[in-house]
Amino acid sequence: MAVTPEQIDLWRAAPKESQHLEFKEAKHQISFDRLSQYCVAIANEGGGHIVLGIADKPPRAVVGTQAISDPIGMTEKLFREIGFRVDVEAVPHPNGRVIVVRVPARPRGTAYHLRGAYLMRSGESVAPMSEDQLRQIFAEGEPDWTEEQSRHGLDAGQVIELLDTQAYFELLKLPYPTERSGVLDRLQQDRLIDEREDGYSIRRLGGLLLAKRLENFPDLARKAPRVVVYSGPSKLETRLDQIGSKGYAVGFQGLIRFVMSQLPQNEVIEDALRNEVRWVPELVIRELVANALIHQDLALTGTSVMIEVYSNRLEISNPGEPVVPVERFIDGYQSRNERLADLMRRMGICEEKSSGIDKVVNAAEVFQLPAPDFREEYRRTVVTIFGPRDFDQMHRDDRIRACYQHCALKWVMSKSMTNQTMRERFHLPESKTATVSQVIAATIEAGLVKADERVGSSRKFARYLPFWA
């Protein structure tokens, strides 16, 4: 179907570019190599359109283009270069000639490459796909790892012996059936076990969630979470190294209690009584451990969720690079393991509405902790929670990170960050207004927040938004 000028105007009105829509001025020409790269990147991310002759910054005026004088010839040339067909069309817009390149989506389980480089969109440019992203694409045509059998050829008694069915019904807040058949029927309804000709089989998901002992499932044993406690702020001296033994759901509360018991304590005095309190609230541990279990890349072998306790911080990491960019953890959500997330939500272990990280950031503010540090490392996603630290003891990066997270948290609450809210976040008096302004300015310079232009240029009433708002 031919693209109309009205369709182009609708695209121009979009709030921003996306993986499926790319604007280029290209008044006179466009590099063929660059155009080829964008075609491959957009196809890998679901297909879309490249529009030439449009300013790539709002309000996206139609500037017209002289590029691609022969659209049909360019279609053939691109096909020879990238190996799949795109449609190139010249559209006579009232304000100037526009070229539209329609790019199809890649086939399921296939990633396109350009001379060996698998490409994706990255901001306003293209970049190589990560190994994790490629693995996910190539696995699309394969059965879900969690749905495959872990144990098979079992009788009803063996299923009950291997899985903690009592805890399963308690977590779901359901009465335990009076007959064994009722237990097995419920497990089959949730697709955790299957009845086959040779007996019952337990799916990997069933074992991961409900195993009384993960070691009884050879293909799941290495997926057990591991808690390592160090004597100081480095890995030089290990005081304890404990590997979890139960399934994620039935062992979750015990895991959280164990981690809490290993955290350093602070001494506080309340009502003339001396109390020992952990410097990280249980809510933070609960949310981050649940996230790590749910969002791990289960296809990676030889690695597991790690909870490392140091004398001055806590690090929780999971296998696999994040599905959502780390700077969008507060407002974004995409589950890597949907069925695992759904069942753990139903069992009251986690939420599936992207509020977990919000709670973690909010708790850090309430308990006056440095902002959590979310990082993407090689094949791992890492979150670091720091112990109490006064504002004066925070490094510049700590302050910038806290400012950005505070701004993003305010935005998802339909509010705005101001100098005053930042002072409240750090528990600083009004006399520190200039100091906080310096922190905000440094965060703007880092490209993480921006001034809200809707309130004018008054510094007194200035409000700030996260960079993506």
Q: Which two tokens stand for residue 139?
A: 């696995």
Of the candidates 85, 88, 107, the residue with the CA atom closest to the CA atom of residue 30: 88
Q: What is the pLDDT of residue 275?
A: 53
Q: What is the pLDDT of residue 457?
A: 61
CA distance 269 to 308: 29
CA distance 286 to 441: 34
Residues near 181 by Cβ (< 8 Å), separated by ≥ 6?
156
pLDDT in single tens digits along all 469 residues of the chain: 688 999 998 888 876 777 788 999 999 999 999 999 999 999 998 899 999 999 988 888 999 999 999 999 999 999 999 999 999 999 999 999 999 999 999 988 889 999 999 998 877 788 898 877 888 788 776 778 899 999 999 999 999 999 999 999 999 999 999 999 999 999 999 999 999 988 999 999 999 999 999 999 999 999 999 999 999 999 999 999 999 999 999 999 999 999 999 998 755 444 444 455 567 889 899 999 999 999 999 988 889 999 999 999 999 999 998 888 888 888 777 778 889 999 999 998 876 555 678 889 998 888 888 999 999 998 899 999 998 888 999 999 999 999 999 999 999 888 999 999 999 999 999 999 999 999 999 999 998 999 887 766 666 678 999 988 7
Of the candidates 445, 364, 356, 362, the residue with the CA atom closest to the CA atom of residue 400: 445
Q: What is the pLDDT of residue 245?
A: 95
Q: Which two tokens stand for residue 145?
A: 């790892």
Torsion sign, CA atoms 209, 213, 218, 222: positive
First to last CA, the chain: 34
Domain with CATH 3.30.950.30 in the chain: 5-138
Domain with CATH 3.30.565.60 in the chain: 224-386
Q: What is the pLDDT of residue 15?
A: 67
Can you say whether residue 191 is alpha, beta or left, with left for phi > 0 and alpha for psi between -120 and 50 degrees?
left
Choose which CATH entry (3.40.50.10860, 3.40.50.1980, 3.30.565.60, 1.10.760.10) describes domain 224-386. Answer: 3.30.565.60
Q: What is the pLDDT of residue 133?
A: 80
Q: Checking DSSP bridges between strand 48-52 and strand 273-278, what pairing results, if any?
A: unpaired
Rounded to two decimals, the pTM is 0.74
Q: Does domain 394-466 have CATH number 1.10.10?
A: yes
The architecture in CATH of the region 5-138 reads: 2-Layer Sandwich (3.30)
Torsion sign, CA atoms 284, 285, 290, 295: positive
